[in-house]
Structure 1
Amino acid sequence: MKRHLVRLTLLCGFALLSTIVQAHSLQNKLYDTGEAIPKPRVMTGFVEMQHARGVPNVPFLDEAGQTQTLKQHQGKLVLVNLWATWCVPCLREIPQLQQLKQQYQGKNIAIVPISIDEDPKEVRPFLTKHNFKDYQTWFDPTQNIEQIIPANVVPATYFFDTKGNLVGFVRGYLDWGDKDVAPYLDQLIAKYGQ
């Protein structure tokens, strides 16, 4: 009986949360994104949204302690990767994202890692220890990102069009080094980075 009540409570909570999220999404629908780009197998977990969603401009910190916002990358497709030092799959994504950043340098895409660690002072030593000393990241110790997207799963990657509207996401690990990722990113840039 107790298990049944717990399951029922969880299901009701999930239904309520889904309704709230859907209602919030309906309010922020800005435009129909058109037909979804056919995904390669590696991108199966990626969700290309049917409607672009407007998001608030929230502040983050860079490693110098300066305030940064996603707005500074408007005009490009923006890939935001949420990660944390305690996240093992994040450690696997970092070198792949570093390589993508180099590969796409000078193209109409910005790759922005954001650490959600509570203490930013721990991040640089962690990156240095794992031979990622050149990996530049922003910090969000107070989880301002929650005003835009949920930060309850890391790694998670979110895509924003040239005007800063949310157009897609993948929650969980993705093999960014797979040979089929770059051609798919090229299509996302062509669709949302113009």
Structure 2
Amino acid sequence: MAKNSAVTTNLINSEKKDIAPFIVLVVGLTIAFSIWKAGYTGVPKEPPKSAESQIEGTTAPDFTLPDLNGANHTLSSYKGKVVFLNIWATWCKPCKDEMPSMEKLHQRFKDKDFVMLAVSIDKDGKKSVEPFMKEYKLTFPALLDPEGTTSKLYKTTGVPETFIIDKNGTIIHKVIGPRDWGTDPVFGVFEKIIGNAS
């Protein structure tokens, strides 16, 4: 009798060992399925929008800032023109790198429905900006924004950042970082934008 009991016990233990991996597998799959189901909404998730795309297609926030001569410039007063709005600083090397090409773009389209506004966020304003503009022989309007109001309005994360605003006052493109604005392909793009009916 004791012998039969021992055999039965061994058989049960053997069955337990055989079934153990199966139980672990089932439990693991159940947990994995539960986690997957909890995060599944039935609708494919869209990738997060970039900083550029979030503002493109929106109305450009209005502002009024003085230039180096003390004359005020209000963005909304340029409705009917394509506005090249660049937010920059004299201490920013990438800003310095793109300024000569911005001057080329300005010279190319300054007599058309186009205006370039370079908003400086330098804390000491004219003291830094005026000699910088002279050194680099820049002729487009430099606006002074030592309080960084424009940066807050346009939610910039650094400098330079550029906003292309169409004739209706809508931001159609945002560029983070420097670009070469003085190339034929760029000129071609602006010719099309400027040529669009207002």
Scaled by the length of structure 1, the TM-score of the pair is 0.67
Q: Which residue of 1 aligns with 2:35?
A: none
Which structure 1 segments of 5+ residues have no match? 1-21, 23-46
How much does 1:63 deviate? 0.9
Aligned to 1:105: 110
Match of 1:140 in 2: 145
Please, which runs of 5 or more residues in structure 2 have no aligned partner?
1-48
Q: Percent identity?
A: 29
More helix by share: 2
The residue number in structure 1 matching 2:186 is 181
Q: Which residue of 1 aligns with 2:43?
A: none
Tell me if the contact between 1:56 and 1:147 (Cα under 8 Å) persists in the aligned partners. Answer: no
Q: Which residue of structure 2 aligns with residue 123 of structure 1?
A: 129
Mark the CA change 1:51 to 1:124 in structure 2 (over 3 Å): closer, same or farther. Answer: closer
Pick one of 85, 95, 100 that aligns with 2:100. 95
Paired residues of 1:84 and 1:154 also in contact (CA < 8 A):
yes
Name the SS for the 2:156 alignment partner. Answer: coil
Q: How does 1:162-181 map to 2 (within 5 A)?
A: 162-181=167-186
TM-score (norm 2): 0.66
Residues 155, 173 of structure 1: 8 Å contact kept? yes
Quote the Cα distance in structure 2 between the aligned partners of 1:187 and 1:48: 21
Per residue, is there more strand in 1 or in 2? Answer: 1
Contact 1:54 1:165 survives alignment (8 Å): yes
Letter matched to residue 128 of structure 2: E
Taking the aligned partners of 1:147 and 1:90, their CA distance within structure 2 comes to: 19
Cα deviation, residue 133, structure 1: 5.5
Aligned counterpart, 1:82: 87
| Conserved? CA contact 2:116–2:140, under 8 Å | no
Please provide the CA RMSD for this pair: 2.6
Displacement of 1:173: 0.8
Over alpha carbons, which structure has the higher Rg?
2
- 2:130 alignment partner AA: R
Q: Secondary structure at the match of 2:158?
A: coil
Distance 1:58 1:136 in 2: 15
**Which SS does the other structure have where 1:158 is aligned?**
strand
Equivalenced residue count is: 149
Alignment-derived partner of residue 41 in structure 1 = none
1:80-102, Cα deviation, whole Å (9 max, x unpaired)? 01111011111121111111111
Alpha carbons 1:124, 1:133 under 8 Å: kept: no
- Post-superposition Cα deviations, 1:14-46, rounded to whole Å, max 9, x if no partner, equal xxxxxxxx8xxxxxxxxxxxxxxxxxxxxxxxx
